A and B are shown apart, each in its own frame.
Chain A
Amino acid sequence: MPQPDRRRFLTSAVLGGSAVAGATALGSLAPEAAFAAAPKIKLDPGALDPNFAEGRITGISGSLLKASGSDRTLHRIHITDGTSIWKLHPTTFDQIKVGDGFYARGVRLPDGSLAADAIWVNIVNLDASIAAIETARLHLDHNGKRVIGHVVGGRTAAVYGSAPAVADLTRLQVGRHVKVIGAWRPDTNEVDIATVYSGA
């Protein structure tokens, strides 16, 4: 189905037609039942998770990613239509480049490859303090190293305390501790900021 038609179909599916009052009419999907039914991850604590992979992408062949783990393990990762791809924001397969870092979760297949349910490309989670603020970028001190955080128009959001995320970054202050979720620019000390969490 062409993309505009597909989106129209999905939109009408969720907005059109009558909905079931889930919590009452669909007992099996009531919140408490859904939580109880939520999969318990069966894996010895501390053990390597076979359904997880991380590393740097070394090659792209069709919908297959070849990658080298940080521990030098070689990975083959299948990307399907059902795989979510995050690279600063939800994006498409063509945005993945050789050299990108990644974390991926999915199902390990018998041939040793991973069928990815989700892949997060270049994602970083930094606890840092703001050392300086310049036009469209933050200078961050992270573990004693300077990281440049780029503000991306229309993408970067700020969360102040427990308030809903906003696009307004003017309440960020030099000297404050922040948590930054962002996309690393490979082989640099720079990240594009997705969300910056700051105290109220």
Chain B
Amino acid sequence: MGCSNSSSPAYGEMSWFCCGSSWGPCGSAGGGACGTCNSGSHQCAWPNTSDACFNITRPDQCGEGLARRTCGHVFYVTSVCSGKCVSVSIADCGPDTNSFCGERSCCGSTCYTNRIIDLTPSAYSAIADLSTGLSPARIDS
């Protein structure tokens, strides 16, 4: 599999988060649920990495049937705005999908709902501008 070519992609909002050693308000972010998270690596946080993770993020409460994917699983994330794609491996649990149920991001007339993935700054900046906080994305497994 690869960018934009799986039969059952997920569509939703992506954002970015810092983890590992960092500065500023990110300073205490730590290595994430998998213990390997690092802002400089192409990694992501996924809301369904374990039962404990799912119980916190509860994407199902927003109508999202996101599959269980564990630490190290690889996703291909394509920015709807730029068309650029990056491969990332799961390193943390998140985002907290059910805190933002119904939230929507658009690129032109293409809008996707619910926050379903967070990328590290290195991964996000490869496909979008960090100064955009939220962006619609397609996620292939």
Chain A contacts to B: CB under 8 angstroms: 31, 34-36, 38-41, 43-49, 52-56, 69-71, 86, 101, 103, 105, 118, 120, 122-127, 142-143, 145, 147, 161-162, 177, 179-181, 184, 186, 189, 191, 194-195, 197, 199
Contact = CB atoms under 8 A, between A and B. Distances in A.
B59 to A, nearest CB: 15
Contacts of B123: 49
B91 interface: yes
B43 A103 contact: no
A53 B41 CA distance: 10
Nearest to B132: A181
Contact of B125 (A45, A118, A180, A199): A118
Interface of A is mostly: strand
Instruction: With a 10 A CB-CB cut-off, give which of A43, A45, A123 has the most chain B CB atoms.
Output: A45
A103 B126 contact: no
A124 B17 CA distance: 9
Interface of B: 2-3, 15-18, 20-26, 28, 36, 38-43, 72, 74-75, 82-89, 91, 95-96, 99-100, 102-106, 111, 121-123, 125-127, 129-134
B106 to A, nearest CB: 5
Given A44-B42, A45-B42, A194-B131, 16 more contacts: A40-B2, A41-B84, A43-B86, A46-B43, A46-B74, A46-B91, A52-B40, A52-B122, A54-B39, A56-B23, A120-B131, A124-B24, A124-B25, A125-B130, A126-B25, A199-B100
Given A70-B22, A86-B131, A125 B17 contact: yes
Contacts of B104: 161-162
A45 B20 contact: no
A127 B39 contact: no
B24 A71 contact: no
Given A161-B104, A199-B103, A49 B131 contact: no
Nearest to B83: A35
Contacts of A86: 130-131
A15 to B, nearest CB: 22
A60 B91 CA distance: 34
The 8 closest A-B pairs by CB, nearest first: A35-B83, A70-B21, A46-B89, A52-B122, A162-B104, A101-B23, A45-B89, A45-B87
Contact of A41 (B17, B23, B86): B86
Contact of B28 (A103, A105, A143): A143
